[in-house]
Amino acid sequence: MNRFSIIAVIVVAMLAFACKNKAVPQEVATDKKQDTITAIVTNEIILRDDRLNAIYPQYVKLTTALVDNDAATARIAANAIGEGAARLQLNSKIKQEADKIVATADIALQRTAFAALSNELIVLIEKSGVQAGALYVDFCPMAMEDKGASWISGVKDIRNPYFGEQMLTCGGIKSTFAANNN
């Protein structure tokens, strides 16, 4: 058996045991098992708080837009984050910072709000944890006028959203949230 097969068998066994005593419809339990197995094999991120899972893909889009100096796409992603945060009753500061990004086409102002939004999201992820995969808290010491700023990434490679192409690889990994250390 290869490594992924062994991991998949272990995860299925653990989930089957954990779900055995819960009133979960079988088709829902099967879907969650498959999602977890797929996440482990493909290195996808699954957070322990489903509300964060709902907005995290938009955060990735927002980060990518800022890396690419794309203010219009940043506004779209931030709008989805803000609406999701409000609908899911997440931290109101996340919605406030997302709304600041939506309200401006100025990439520098978007990046300032992104720093605050990232800090709020980091706190929430630290509290809830990661169920599968790993997230990295990256830090650029030169961002925010040399005060430094953090962001979350699902990959080890640094792609700096505060400077984009100007300083694409500036920064480093500050900490890691992983399924095995939560």
Average pLDDT, the chain: 82
In a domain, 41, yes or no: no
Domain shared by 56 and 105, yes or no: yes
In a domain, 38, yes or no: no
Specify the pLDDT at position 91.
76
Beta bridge mates, 46: 132
Q: Mean pLDDT over residues 63-70, rounded?
A: 97
Domain range for 14: 1-29
Whether residue 25 has pLDDT greater than 50: no
Residue 79 banded pLDDT, cuts 50, 70, 90 = very high
In a domain, 43, yes or no: no
Domain shared by 58 and 107, yes or no: yes
104 vs 180, more confident: 104
How far apart are alpha carbons 47 and 81 in whole angstroms? 16
How far apart are alpha carbons 163 and 127 in whole angstroms? 29
Asked if residue 82 lies in contact with residue 121, where contact means CB atoms within 8 angstroms, the answer is no
How far apart are alpha carbons 176 and 182 in whole angstroms? 10
Instruction: Give the least confident one: 11-15, 66-70, 116-120, 176-180.
Output: 11-15
Domain shared by 133 and 165, yes or no: yes
Domain shared by 25 and 84, yes or no: no
Q: Mean pLDDT over residues 60-84, rounded?
A: 97
Beta-carbon contacts of 181 under 8 Å, excluding residues fewer than 6 positions away, are: none
Domain shared by 11 and 88, yes or no: no
Domain shared by 63 and 151, yes or no: yes
Do β-strands 134-140 and 149-153 pair in parallel, antiparallel, or remain unpaired?
antiparallel
Domain shared by 5 and 91, yes or no: no
Domain shared by 99 and 167, yes or no: yes
Asked if residue 114 lies in contact with residue 93, where contact means CB atoms within 8 angstroms, the answer is no
How far apart are alpha carbons 138 and 158 in whole angstroms? 7
How far apart are alpha carbons 57 and 74 in whole angstroms? 13
Asked if residue 36 lies in contact with residue 131, where contact means CB atoms within 8 angstroms, the answer is yes
How far apart are alpha carbons 152 and 110 in whole angstroms? 16
Question: What is the chain's Cα-based Rg?
Answer: 18
Specify the pLDDT at position 89.
87
Cα angle: 98, vertex 99, 101; to 5 degrees: 65
Q: How many domains does the chain have?
A: 2
Residue 85, burial from CB neighbour count under 10 angstroms (0-12, 13-18, 19+): buried
Domain shared by 5 and 68, yes or no: no
How far apart are alpha carbons 168 and 166 in whole angstroms? 6
Domain shared by 80 and 7, yes or no: no
Domain shared by 22 and 56, yes or no: no
122 vs 92, more confident: 122
Domain shared by 2 and 91, yes or no: no
